[in-house]
Amino acid sequence: MQITFEDHPARVCVDGEMVPAVPDQRMIRLNGLHAGYCGTTAGRPVSMIRHYEEGVILRVRDEVTTRYGRPSSVTQPPDPEDYQ
């Protein structure tokens, strides 16, 4: 599994140039797919936008910790299987 980070996709125009609207937040991608968001400093939460297995969540937390410092929490939506 490849975990990558990109600038938050929201942009704002400043002096005629489009720049990140949320400069202290990163978009998390898992194997190229948008998976969630994290802050760029320790103590900020990780918010996943899809449900993932515990092992994936642990790897994401570890990678965020390595890059930006340990997050305060990692949240994700409930497992859709729980509602069938």
Structure tokens at 76: 């994700």
Structure tokens at 68: 């930006």
Predicted confidence at residue 83, as pLDDT, reads: 76
What mean pLDDT is predicted for residues 15-23?
94
Predicted confidence at residue 82, as pLDDT, reads: 79
Single-letter residue type at 81: E
What mean pLDDT is predicted for residues 63-84?
92
Structure tokens at 70: 């340990």
pLDDT, one tens digit per residue, over 28-68 is: 999 999 999 999 999 999 999 999 999 999 999 999 999 99
- Beta bridge partners, 5, equal 28
- Contact between 50 and 42 under an 8 Å Cβ cutoff? The reply is no
Vertex 26 angle, CA 52 and 6, to 5°: 95
